[in-house]
Amino acid sequence: MISLSENKEYTFKREHPEPFNNLIYTVFIFSILFHIRDLTANSIYERLYGLFIAGTFIVLILNQLYIIITKKYKLSDLIIDNNHIAIKKWFLMRYYTIDLQQVKNITELLLTLDNLIEITLMNNKKIRLSLKGYSNNDKKLISNQFKVINSNLKIQLN
């Protein structure tokens, strides 16, 4: 079993980053939905709804453009070290950093299609990390790392 007493940082990357595909799909769906909504708008409420939908899709498109321009899709999706767990968030590809001293419990949920790791913080907030998209080898390594962290947490709590 791997010990976290080593001063090592583990980084994991998903197999297929898809910002280009996401951008194309978003623009395609936006063009279809906005065109239909614009032709059928009769009242002010329908037009406001159309503007809301358009604004949402514009934010999604700008998010994907930001990810492509800054090449943030090349960054690691998960970073585990001795003191922190950093999970890359979807919006603007920023990291959500969890201090290990704030973690109460880590459980692994084995589902048929996907493995989930649920991190419970001291304030009872639960964070779910999906292992979908990682290679099988990375899934095993991630699972082992979280088992080591969880065992270290239980030792510290006792």
pLDDT tens per residue, range 84-95: 999 998 888 889
11 close to 78: Cβ distance less than 8 angstroms: yes
**Type of residue at 48:** L
The CATH classification of domain 75-157, taken from the options 2.30.29.30, 3.20.20.70, 2.160.10.10, 3.40.50.2000: 2.30.29.30
Sequence-distant (≥ 6) Cβ neighbours of residue 13 within 8 angstroms: 76, 77, 138
How many Cβ atoms sit within 10 Å of the Cβ of residue 85?
Answer: 25
Domain boundaries, the chain: 18-71, 75-157
pTM of the predicted protein model: 0.76
* Displacement of CA 149 from its chain's centroid (Å): 20
Convert the pLDDT of each residue in 46-96 to its tens digit.
778 778 888 888 898 898 889 889 988 888 899 999 889 999 988 888 899
Convert the pLDDT of each residue in 104-123 to its tens digit.
989 888 776 678 899 999 99
Lowest mean pLDDT: which of 6-10, 32-36, 40-44, 106-110?
A: 32-36
